[in-house]
Structure 1
Amino acid sequence: MKYIVIPEPGKVEVKEMEKPTLQKGEAILKVLYGGICGSDMGTYKGTFLYASYPRIPGHEFSAEVVEIDENDYGIKKGMIVTANPYFNCGKCYSCRRGFVNCCTGNQTLGAQRDGIFREYYSMPIERIYDGKGLDAL
């Protein structure tokens, strides 16, 4: 499958990688649309302090669930979804107060962890949100 990577500031490449395989507790998402935000631009320009290289950008997106096991979250194959891009610890002061984007160990998609600018992405089910009928665009 194709993906976009920023190998270093000012450079973008389209490359190929294997499609992810379904793992327990995760869903395979077919990325439909991705938004380019300020942190993606900062990663490209080399001005976003939290980015490291090479980095696959992207954390604002819509996707279709294409593979998933039964789960307690109500997420099913065929749903149009988005997801929480913050991989927070859940234990620090900020997380305990509900400010997961301020987590001291946060790893945001497209910044500290590779993002979704690829054809398919494997996402933990508990991070996925049903689009509830919203258009993917």
Structure 2
Amino acid sequence: MISLRVDKIGLDPEHGQAIVLLKDDEGRRYLPISIGPFEANAIALAIENVQPPRPLTHDLLKTVLDNLDAKITRVLIDDLKEAGDGTGTFYAQITLEAPGRLIEIDSRPSDAIALAVRSGCPIFALEKVLDAAAVSEESNGPQVH
């Protein structure tokens, strides 16, 4: 597993799609993941410590988990399934630690990242995912505006 952090959120200038750009801890590889505009906003608000007047969905889920004494311990981006047309879908797992239990939950990476940023838990990706989709630092990373 490779440790990642959110480097930036922006738009892919070529397609106009929201992107979350994860960077490995060594700063050598970037993992760009296309996400929806609402998820991009949710991640950005959490990174910037902006408190909306009412809780967003990810804030609500974090509050529910806190009240159940469950803690998000990690997010793992564990798969990329190619669609055959040059696109693909990333998959993620959220690991929760609850009293007496360890729980793995299937998630979209965008939701998992939004929760990771709120809970301060680490984000990881399997090496096979980075091998398939990461862009190297030498290529100046993906262009995100």
**Fold shared, TM-score > 0.5 on shorter chain:** no
Where on the TM-score scale, by shorter chain, does this alignment land: which range? 0.3 to 0.5
Kindly indicate which of the two structures has a greater share of residues assigned to helix.
2
Kindly indicate which of the two structures has a greater share of residues assigned to strand.
2
- Report the TM-score when normalising by structure 2: 0.32
